[in-house]
Amino acid sequence: MDTYTTYDVSDDERELAGLAREFADTVIAPIAYEANRTHTLPLDVVAQMGEMGLFGLPFPEEYGGQGGDYFALGLAIEAIGRVDQSLAITLEAGVSLGAMPIFRFGNEAQKREYLPDLLAGRALAGFGLTEPDAGSDAGATRTTARLEGDEWVINGAKQFITNSGTDITRFVTVTAVTGEQDGRKEISTIIVPNGTPGFTVEPAYDKVGWHASDTHPLGFADARVPAANLLGERGRGFAAFLHILDEGRIAIAALATGAAEGCVDAAVDYAHSRTVFGQPLASKQAMQFKIARMQARVHTARLAWHHAARLRDAGKPFKTEAAIAKLVAGDAAMDNARDATQVFGGNGFMNEYPVARHYRDSKILEVGEGTTEVQLLVIARALGLA
């Protein structure tokens, strides 16, 4: 079945999706098991993704981008998410959390300095929001940055920061309390280059899933950076991040849709090849119905993220639609991973099978970039219920 026969996908977009799917199938899929087994982000594959222009898809050509939009990015992320979520999240975070804050809120000098390498995949960057006591409640941020002369002095800790400790990570952008406004914390965002004295990238996490994705806790002990490293307007750091987060939810929904589709593909192939009591597993109506429901989830999730992405690219409000897309797609990925594992039986518990990796990986799609409960709260507020 042609995945992209829907009315809202142009010929150029269909071609992009096809190229990304071919790359995922021929380059990423063969190395995915070993990369996950060894907890290694394959930077040679990241470089190839950069050469394809995937990191630059939604950025203008003047900074080295492809002149595309967020819908195009979603197509690429979905295609890669089918075969490996670790590399899909590396791309998603590299764009949404690494380059996009610079593009959206950086001054011209910052854009010229950082974007060319980020958009070419020669460098990665992370965004440090979450802390031990501040996640969904980012207002509880404890990391501080005080201005001393022409330098920010940063103290605190961040956790769960993607792309923060690779050999090509250039910097992290962190939220920090820089003062008070009307009795509330003034939160700003500051660029902290890797290698800054006092900035420590702690050992990588031993995670349940996304084993080939780079994720670290970070520490700051009197880390000093120039005052010019302030990103955007002082005191607007949290508001800026919320905008970035809304966009990121669309990309996460695309990733989750890809994961859900990967589970369908694997389940269909296995049902045809597996013989039970002398008959193909695919001949059993119970199995047919299970996989049919899986496909329905994929279709619904895809429509949801397509809608949110089109709204975003048209410059229309999309916050609620992004929350719906992430909610629906995250559920689809987790439900399909569970059902696909059941189709595979004992083999579904073996990590060399993609469905086992999707089963481990997909849970974070209900947590990262805003938990399921946060998405429900956003939707409820849009309905006037909160």
pLDDT in tens, 167-178: 999 999 999 999
Under the banding of pLDDT at 50, 70 and 90, the label for residue 277 is confident
pTM greater than 0.75 (yes/no): yes
In a domain, residue 187? The reply is yes
Buried-state track 277-297, b at ≥16 Cβ within 10 A, e below 16: eeeebbeeeebeebbeebbeb
Same domain, 185 and 287: no
DSSP string, 273-335: H-EETTEEGGG-HHHHHHHHHHHHHHHHHHHHHHHHHHHHHTT---HHHHHHHHHHHHHHHHH
Q: What is the pLDDT of residue 239?
A: 82
Can you tell me the distance from the alpha carbon of 54 to that of 149, in angstroms, rounded to the nearest whole number? 40
Q: How many CB atoms lie within 10 A of CB 373?
A: 12
CA dist 94 and 232 (Å) reads: 19
For 70, half-sphere exposure in the C-beta direction (CA atoms, 13 angstrom radius) is: 26
Phi and psi of 6, rounded to 5°? -65, 155
Exactly one of 92, 247, 261, 369 is catalytic; name it.
369
Q: 184-193 and 230-231 as β-strands: parallel, antiparallel, unpaired? A: antiparallel
Residue 34's pLDDT band (boundaries 50, 70, 90)? very high
The amino acid occupying position 271 is A
Q: In this structure, are 213 and 102 located in the same domain?
A: no
Residues 118 and 129 in one domain: no
Q: Is residue 289 part of a domain?
A: yes
- In terms of domains, do 62 and 149 share one? no
Indicate whether 337 and 260 sit together in one domain: yes
Closest of 126, 283, 334 to residue 217, by C-alpha: 126
369 is catalytic: yes
Which structural domain, as residue segments, surrounds residue 215?
Answer: 125-235
Beta strand 124-128 with 169-181 is parallel
**Residue 348: helix, strand or coil by DSSP?**
helix
Q: pLDDT tens-digit profile of 222-265?
A: 999 999 999 999 998 888 888 888 999 999 999 999 999 999 99
Helices marked H in 345-371? 354-361
Last residue of a domain, one of 124, 155, 178: 124
Residue with tokens 């059993």: 284
What CATH number should be reported for the domain holding residue 56?
Answer: 1.10.540.10
Asked whether residue 3 is assigned to any structural domain, the reply reads no
Q: What pLDDT, on a 0 to 100 scale, did the predictor assign at position 6?
A: 60
Cβ-based neighbour number of residue 139 at 10 Å: 11
